[in-house]
Amino acid sequence: MFGILGTTRVVGAGGVAVALGGPRRRALLALLALEAGRTVTVERLVDGLYGPRTPAGVANAVQSQVSRLRQVLPVAIEGHPAGYRLAARPQDVDAHRFEQLGAAGREALAAGDPGRAAALLREALELWRGPALADVGDAPFAAAQVVRLEELRVAAVEDRVAADLALGRHRQLVAELRELVAAHPLRERLRGQLMRALHGSGRQGEALEVYDAARRELAETLGADPGPELAAVHLAVLRGEPHLALPRGDRESPGPPESRSGPELLPPGHVSRGTSPAAPRHELPAQLTSFIGRGPELDRIGALLARERLVTVTGPGGAGKTRLAVEAAGRYPHDATFVALAGLTGGAELPQAVLGALGLREGGLL
Protein backbone atom coordinates (compact mmCIF):
# COMPACT_ATOMS: atom_id res chain seq x y z
CA MET A 1 0.00 0.00 0.00
CA PHE A 2 1.22 3.48 -0.92
CA GLY A 3 0.37 6.11 1.66
CA ILE A 4 0.17 9.89 1.24
CA LEU A 5 -2.65 10.63 3.72
CA GLY A 6 -0.09 11.52 6.36
CA THR A 7 3.62 11.12 5.79
CA THR A 8 4.66 9.43 2.56
CA ARG A 9 5.13 5.72 3.09
CA VAL A 10 5.17 2.39 1.30
CA VAL A 11 4.34 -0.87 3.04
CA GLY A 12 5.78 -3.89 1.30
CA ALA A 13 5.33 -7.61 1.71
CA GLY A 14 4.79 -8.72 5.27
CA GLY A 15 3.77 -5.24 6.37
CA VAL A 16 7.34 -3.94 6.40
CA ALA A 17 7.75 -0.21 5.70
CA VAL A 18 10.13 0.67 2.87
CA ALA A 19 12.95 3.17 3.49
CA LEU A 20 12.31 5.88 0.90
CA GLY A 21 15.11 8.35 1.43
CA GLY A 22 15.03 12.14 1.51
CA PRO A 23 12.22 14.65 0.96
CA ARG A 24 12.78 15.14 -2.79
CA ARG A 25 12.53 11.39 -3.40
CA ARG A 26 9.41 11.17 -1.23
CA ALA A 27 7.85 14.06 -3.13
CA LEU A 28 8.57 12.31 -6.43
CA LEU A 29 6.91 9.13 -5.19
CA ALA A 30 3.90 11.06 -3.86
CA LEU A 31 3.41 12.79 -7.20
CA LEU A 32 3.60 9.48 -9.06
CA ALA A 33 1.23 7.85 -6.54
CA LEU A 34 -1.37 10.56 -7.07
CA GLU A 35 -1.39 9.47 -10.72
CA ALA A 36 -0.98 5.73 -10.06
CA GLY A 37 -1.33 3.69 -13.24
CA ARG A 38 -0.95 6.76 -15.48
CA THR A 39 2.09 8.30 -17.12
CA VAL A 40 3.31 11.57 -15.64
CA THR A 41 5.33 13.66 -18.06
CA VAL A 42 8.87 14.69 -17.21
CA GLU A 43 7.82 18.32 -17.64
CA ARG A 44 5.09 17.92 -15.03
CA LEU A 45 7.44 16.12 -12.64
CA VAL A 46 10.02 18.88 -12.97
CA ASP A 47 7.43 21.60 -12.48
CA GLY A 48 5.81 19.79 -9.55
CA LEU A 49 9.09 19.12 -7.76
CA TYR A 50 11.10 22.27 -8.54
CA GLY A 51 8.60 24.92 -9.58
CA PRO A 52 9.08 27.45 -12.38
CA ARG A 53 12.72 28.19 -11.50
CA THR A 54 14.34 24.91 -12.41
CA PRO A 55 18.10 24.46 -12.03
CA ALA A 56 20.22 23.18 -14.88
CA GLY A 57 20.27 19.42 -15.39
CA VAL A 58 17.06 18.90 -13.43
CA ALA A 59 15.76 16.25 -15.84
CA ASN A 60 18.82 14.13 -15.07
CA ALA A 61 18.20 14.66 -11.35
CA VAL A 62 14.65 13.34 -11.74
CA GLN A 63 15.95 10.31 -13.62
CA SER A 64 18.44 9.66 -10.82
CA GLN A 65 15.73 9.84 -8.15
CA VAL A 66 13.53 7.46 -10.17
CA SER A 67 16.42 5.01 -10.40
CA ARG A 68 16.90 5.04 -6.63
CA LEU A 69 13.19 4.56 -5.96
CA ARG A 70 13.13 1.58 -8.33
CA GLN A 71 15.66 -0.17 -6.10
CA VAL A 72 13.37 -0.18 -3.05
CA LEU A 73 9.76 -0.18 -4.30
CA PRO A 74 7.69 -3.37 -4.46
CA VAL A 75 6.29 -2.34 -7.86
CA ALA A 76 7.94 -0.93 -10.94
CA ILE A 77 8.28 2.64 -12.10
CA GLU A 78 7.98 2.27 -15.85
CA GLY A 79 9.78 4.64 -18.18
CA HIS A 80 7.93 5.93 -21.24
CA PRO A 81 8.94 8.36 -23.98
CA ALA A 82 6.87 11.08 -22.33
CA GLY A 83 7.63 10.35 -18.69
CA TYR A 84 7.21 7.80 -15.90
CA ARG A 85 4.38 5.62 -14.62
CA LEU A 86 3.98 3.99 -11.19
CA ALA A 87 2.75 0.49 -12.05
CA ALA A 88 0.28 0.29 -9.17
CA ARG A 89 -3.49 0.12 -9.10
CA PRO A 90 -5.24 3.27 -7.87
CA GLN A 91 -6.82 1.26 -5.05
CA ASP A 92 -3.32 0.49 -3.78
CA VAL A 93 -2.84 4.18 -2.95
CA ASP A 94 -4.61 5.32 0.20
CA ALA A 95 -5.79 8.61 -1.31
CA HIS A 96 -7.47 6.86 -4.23
CA ARG A 97 -8.91 4.21 -1.94
CA PHE A 98 -10.28 6.96 0.28
CA GLU A 99 -12.05 8.60 -2.67
CA GLN A 100 -13.49 5.27 -3.83
CA LEU A 101 -14.87 4.41 -0.39
CA GLY A 102 -16.20 7.94 0.06
CA ALA A 103 -18.09 7.77 -3.22
CA ALA A 104 -19.55 4.37 -2.29
CA GLY A 105 -20.61 5.76 1.08
CA ARG A 106 -22.39 8.71 -0.52
CA GLU A 107 -24.19 6.37 -2.91
CA ALA A 108 -25.36 4.20 0.00
CA LEU A 109 -26.57 7.28 1.86
CA ALA A 110 -28.49 8.52 -1.17
CA ALA A 111 -30.00 5.05 -1.59
CA GLY A 112 -31.40 5.12 1.95
CA ASP A 113 -28.90 2.73 3.57
CA PRO A 114 -27.29 4.81 6.34
CA GLY A 115 -25.83 1.77 8.10
CA ARG A 116 -23.76 0.76 5.08
CA ALA A 117 -22.93 4.40 4.38
CA ALA A 118 -21.59 4.94 7.90
CA ALA A 119 -19.43 1.80 7.70
CA LEU A 120 -17.95 2.73 4.31
CA LEU A 121 -17.25 6.31 5.31
CA ARG A 122 -15.60 5.25 8.57
CA GLU A 123 -13.37 2.87 6.64
CA ALA A 124 -12.45 5.72 4.30
CA LEU A 125 -11.63 8.14 7.10
CA GLU A 126 -9.55 5.57 8.97
CA LEU A 127 -7.05 5.68 6.09
CA TRP A 128 -5.94 9.12 7.23
CA ARG A 129 -2.84 9.06 9.46
CA GLY A 130 -2.37 12.82 9.60
CA PRO A 131 -2.43 15.83 7.25
CA ALA A 132 -2.10 14.80 3.62
CA LEU A 133 1.42 14.93 2.17
CA ALA A 134 2.68 15.92 5.60
CA ASP A 135 6.38 15.45 4.85
CA VAL A 136 6.42 16.86 1.30
CA GLY A 137 4.24 19.92 1.76
CA ASP A 138 7.00 22.24 0.55
CA ALA A 139 6.98 20.70 -2.94
CA PRO A 140 5.28 23.03 -5.44
CA PHE A 141 2.70 20.43 -6.49
CA ALA A 142 1.62 19.68 -2.92
CA ALA A 143 -0.29 22.81 -1.91
CA ALA A 144 -3.21 22.34 -4.29
CA GLN A 145 -3.42 18.62 -3.53
CA VAL A 146 -3.44 19.22 0.23
CA VAL A 147 -6.37 21.63 -0.13
CA ARG A 148 -8.26 19.23 -2.40
CA LEU A 149 -7.77 16.19 -0.18
CA GLU A 150 -8.62 18.08 3.00
CA GLU A 151 -11.86 19.31 1.43
CA LEU A 152 -12.73 15.73 0.51
CA ARG A 153 -11.92 14.59 4.04
CA VAL A 154 -14.20 17.13 5.70
CA ALA A 155 -16.97 16.36 3.21
CA ALA A 156 -16.62 12.66 4.06
CA VAL A 157 -16.90 13.50 7.76
CA GLU A 158 -20.10 15.43 7.01
CA ASP A 159 -21.50 12.50 5.05
CA ARG A 160 -20.62 10.09 7.87
CA VAL A 161 -22.33 12.37 10.38
CA ALA A 162 -25.40 12.48 8.13
CA ALA A 163 -25.47 8.68 8.13
CA ASP A 164 -25.12 8.55 11.92
CA LEU A 165 -27.93 11.08 12.33
CA ALA A 166 -30.15 8.93 10.13
CA LEU A 167 -29.32 6.02 12.46
CA GLY A 168 -30.45 8.03 15.49
CA ARG A 169 -27.02 8.60 17.06
CA HIS A 170 -27.87 12.17 18.07
CA ARG A 171 -26.41 12.22 21.58
CA GLN A 172 -23.17 10.52 20.55
CA LEU A 173 -22.55 13.16 17.86
CA VAL A 174 -22.95 16.37 19.85
CA ALA A 175 -19.40 16.61 21.26
CA GLU A 176 -17.76 15.65 17.95
CA LEU A 177 -19.87 18.16 16.04
CA ARG A 178 -19.01 20.96 18.45
CA GLU A 179 -15.31 20.31 17.74
CA LEU A 180 -15.94 20.20 14.00
CA VAL A 181 -17.89 23.46 14.03
CA ALA A 182 -15.09 25.12 16.00
CA ALA A 183 -12.54 23.91 13.44
CA HIS A 184 -14.71 24.83 10.42
CA PRO A 185 -16.93 27.71 11.53
CA LEU A 186 -18.08 28.67 8.01
CA ARG A 187 -19.31 25.20 6.99
CA GLU A 188 -23.06 25.56 7.29
CA ARG A 189 -23.72 21.86 6.84
CA LEU A 190 -21.84 21.09 10.05
CA ARG A 191 -23.81 23.78 11.87
CA GLY A 192 -27.05 22.27 10.65
CA GLN A 193 -25.95 18.80 11.70
CA LEU A 194 -25.10 20.05 15.18
CA MET A 195 -28.55 21.62 15.38
CA ARG A 196 -30.13 18.31 14.37
CA ALA A 197 -28.06 16.37 16.91
CA LEU A 198 -28.99 18.76 19.71
CA HIS A 199 -32.66 18.83 18.76
CA GLY A 200 -32.71 15.05 18.54
CA SER A 201 -31.21 14.95 22.04
CA GLY A 202 -34.02 17.10 23.43
CA ARG A 203 -31.87 20.27 23.57
CA GLN A 204 -33.90 22.61 21.38
CA GLY A 205 -32.66 25.78 23.06
CA GLU A 206 -29.03 24.89 22.41
CA ALA A 207 -29.88 24.05 18.80
CA LEU A 208 -31.31 27.54 18.35
CA GLU A 209 -28.19 29.05 19.95
CA VAL A 210 -26.08 27.28 17.32
CA TYR A 211 -28.09 29.00 14.60
CA ASP A 212 -27.70 32.41 16.25
CA ALA A 213 -23.93 31.88 16.48
CA ALA A 214 -23.81 30.84 12.81
CA ARG A 215 -25.73 33.93 11.76
CA ARG A 216 -23.33 36.19 13.66
CA GLU A 217 -20.24 34.41 12.31
CA LEU A 218 -21.42 34.62 8.70
CA ALA A 219 -22.41 38.27 9.05
CA GLU A 220 -19.12 39.31 10.66
CA THR A 221 -16.85 37.23 8.42
CA LEU A 222 -18.61 37.27 5.05
CA GLY A 223 -21.34 39.87 5.38
CA ALA A 224 -23.82 37.14 4.45
CA ASP A 225 -26.90 35.47 5.87
CA PRO A 226 -27.26 31.71 6.47
CA GLY A 227 -28.08 29.75 3.34
CA PRO A 228 -31.48 28.22 2.66
CA GLU A 229 -30.56 24.76 3.97
CA LEU A 230 -29.42 26.03 7.37
CA ALA A 231 -32.39 28.39 7.53
CA ALA A 232 -34.70 25.44 6.83
CA VAL A 233 -33.16 23.49 9.72
CA HIS A 234 -33.66 26.52 11.97
CA LEU A 235 -37.32 26.77 11.02
CA ALA A 236 -37.82 23.04 11.52
CA VAL A 237 -36.32 23.26 15.02
CA LEU A 238 -38.59 26.20 15.84
CA ARG A 239 -41.58 24.19 14.70
CA GLY A 240 -40.46 21.07 16.51
CA GLU A 241 -40.79 18.97 13.39
CA PRO A 242 -40.64 15.29 14.40
CA HIS A 243 -38.49 14.14 11.50
CA LEU A 244 -35.66 16.20 12.95
CA ALA A 245 -35.99 14.78 16.44
CA LEU A 246 -36.67 11.14 15.76
CA PRO A 247 -34.35 8.69 14.00
CA ARG A 248 -36.01 6.66 11.32
CA GLY A 249 -35.86 3.48 13.34
CA ASP A 250 -37.75 5.15 16.20
CA ARG A 251 -40.74 6.18 14.12
CA GLU A 252 -44.08 4.70 15.05
CA SER A 253 -45.22 1.83 12.92
CA PRO A 254 -47.78 2.69 10.23
CA GLY A 255 -51.40 2.69 11.31
CA PRO A 256 -54.08 0.37 9.94
CA PRO A 257 -55.21 0.70 6.34
CA GLU A 258 -57.78 3.34 5.56
CA SER A 259 -61.41 2.32 5.69
CA ARG A 260 -63.27 1.97 2.44
CA SER A 261 -65.50 4.92 3.26
CA GLY A 262 -64.37 8.33 2.07
CA PRO A 263 -62.27 10.48 4.45
CA GLU A 264 -63.73 13.34 6.45
CA LEU A 265 -62.17 16.38 8.05
CA LEU A 266 -62.58 16.74 11.80
CA PRO A 267 -64.12 19.97 13.10
CA PRO A 268 -61.76 22.77 14.22
CA GLY A 269 -60.32 22.23 17.68
CA HIS A 270 -61.08 18.50 17.69
CA VAL A 271 -58.57 16.39 19.62
CA SER A 272 -58.72 12.62 19.53
CA ARG A 273 -58.51 11.25 23.07
CA GLY A 274 -59.02 7.60 22.35
CA THR A 275 -56.24 5.06 22.61
CA SER A 276 -57.65 2.79 19.93
CA PRO A 277 -55.13 1.47 17.39
CA ALA A 278 -57.31 3.13 14.76
CA ALA A 279 -56.55 6.63 16.09
CA PRO A 280 -54.94 8.71 13.34
CA ARG A 281 -51.23 9.44 13.49
CA HIS A 282 -50.38 13.00 12.47
CA GLU A 283 -46.69 13.77 11.93
CA LEU A 284 -47.09 17.45 11.13
CA PRO A 285 -45.01 20.56 11.90
CA ALA A 286 -45.93 22.35 15.09
CA GLN A 287 -47.39 25.79 14.39
CA LEU A 288 -46.27 28.82 16.40
CA THR A 289 -49.33 30.98 15.71
CA SER A 290 -53.09 30.50 15.67
CA PHE A 291 -54.83 29.75 12.39
CA ILE A 292 -57.64 32.22 11.79
CA GLY A 293 -60.11 32.19 8.92
CA ARG A 294 -59.78 30.15 5.71
CA GLY A 295 -62.83 28.12 6.74
CA PRO A 296 -64.25 27.93 3.20
CA GLU A 297 -60.93 26.69 1.83
CA LEU A 298 -60.71 24.02 4.54
CA ASP A 299 -64.25 22.89 3.78
CA ARG A 300 -63.46 22.69 0.09
CA ILE A 301 -60.33 20.62 0.70
CA GLY A 302 -62.35 18.29 2.93
CA ALA A 303 -64.98 17.82 0.24
CA LEU A 304 -62.31 17.11 -2.37
CA LEU A 305 -60.53 14.59 -0.13
CA ALA A 306 -63.80 12.72 0.30
CA ARG A 307 -63.81 11.74 -3.37
CA GLU A 308 -60.29 12.31 -4.77
CA ARG A 309 -56.96 10.58 -4.11
CA LEU A 310 -54.94 13.73 -4.85
CA VAL A 311 -55.65 17.34 -3.92
CA THR A 312 -53.21 20.10 -4.89
CA VAL A 313 -53.23 23.55 -3.30
CA THR A 314 -51.94 26.27 -5.65
CA GLY A 315 -51.33 29.98 -5.29
CA PRO A 316 -48.65 32.69 -5.32
CA GLY A 317 -45.63 32.53 -3.07
CA GLY A 318 -46.30 33.59 0.51
CA ALA A 319 -50.06 33.08 0.23
CA GLY A 320 -50.08 30.47 3.00
CA LYS A 321 -50.47 27.31 0.94
CA THR A 322 -48.31 25.17 3.23
CA ARG A 323 -50.05 26.38 6.39
CA LEU A 324 -53.47 25.68 4.86
CA ALA A 325 -52.39 22.18 3.83
CA VAL A 326 -51.01 21.45 7.31
CA GLU A 327 -54.23 22.64 8.96
CA ALA A 328 -56.29 20.48 6.62
CA ALA A 329 -54.06 17.47 7.27
CA GLY A 330 -54.45 17.99 11.02
CA ARG A 331 -58.21 17.47 10.68
CA TYR A 332 -57.83 14.39 8.48
CA PRO A 333 -59.21 11.26 10.26
CA HIS A 334 -56.43 9.00 8.97
CA ASP A 335 -52.63 9.08 9.12
CA ALA A 336 -51.03 12.26 7.79
CA THR A 337 -47.31 12.92 7.27
CA PHE A 338 -45.57 16.15 6.31
CA VAL A 339 -42.86 15.85 3.63
CA ALA A 340 -40.52 18.85 3.46
CA LEU A 341 -39.62 19.57 -0.17
CA ALA A 342 -38.14 23.07 0.15
CA GLY A 343 -34.55 21.84 0.28
CA LEU A 344 -34.76 19.51 -2.74
CA THR A 345 -32.86 20.42 -5.89
CA GLY A 346 -34.37 17.96 -8.37
CA GLY A 347 -37.19 15.53 -8.95
CA ALA A 348 -34.90 12.54 -8.43
CA GLU A 349 -34.70 13.42 -4.73
CA LEU A 350 -38.48 13.34 -4.23
CA PRO A 351 -38.95 9.57 -3.64
CA GLN A 352 -36.28 9.49 -0.95
CA ALA A 353 -37.78 12.53 0.77
CA VAL A 354 -41.16 10.79 0.93
CA LEU A 355 -39.63 7.54 2.18
CA GLY A 356 -37.62 9.42 4.80
CA ALA A 357 -40.70 11.23 6.08
CA LEU A 358 -42.49 7.89 6.40
CA GLY A 359 -39.54 6.34 8.22
CA LEU A 360 -38.95 3.81 5.44
CA ARG A 361 -35.91 2.68 3.52
CA GLU A 362 -36.06 2.27 -0.22
CA GLY A 363 -34.84 -1.32 0.02
CA GLY A 364 -37.77 -2.19 2.25
CA LEU A 365 -40.16 -1.65 -0.64
CA LEU A 366 -38.57 -4.18 -2.96
What pLDDT score does 277 carry? 44
Bridge-based pairing state of the strands 83-86 and 282-283: unpaired
Q: Domains of the chain: which residue ranges?
A: 1-164, 168-251, 281-365
The CA angle 165-113-229, to the nearest 5 degrees, is 45
Residue 242 and residue 210: Cα distance in Å, rounded?
A: 19
Q: What is the DSSP letter of 93?
A: B
| pLDDT at residue 357, as a whole number | 62
Architecture of the structural domain at 168-251: Alpha Horseshoe (1.25)
pLDDT in the model for residue 365: 43
pLDDT of residue 148: 96
Q: Cα torsion at 134, 138, 144, 148 (round to 10°)?
A: 10
In terms of Cα–Cα distance, which of 81, 92, 87, 91 is closest to 10?
92
Q: Class of the 1-164 domain?
A: mainly alpha
Going residue by residue through the chain, which has 366 residues, state the pLDDT in tens, using 9 for 90 and above.
899 999 999 998 788 899 999 999 999 999 999 999 999 999 999 999 999 888 888 989 999 999 999 999 999 999 999 999 999 999 999 999 999 999 999 999 999 999 999 999 999 999 999 999 999 999 999 999 999 999 999 999 999 999 999 999 999 999 999 999 999 999 999 999 999 999 999 999 999 999 999 999 999 999 999 999 999 999 999 988 876 643 333 333 333 333 333 344 444 444 334 444 445 555 666 554 556 667 778 878 877 877 777 888 887 766 677 878 878 887 766 677 777 776 565 565 666 666 666 655 444 443
Helix, strand, coil tally for the chain in percent (to 5): 55, 5, 40
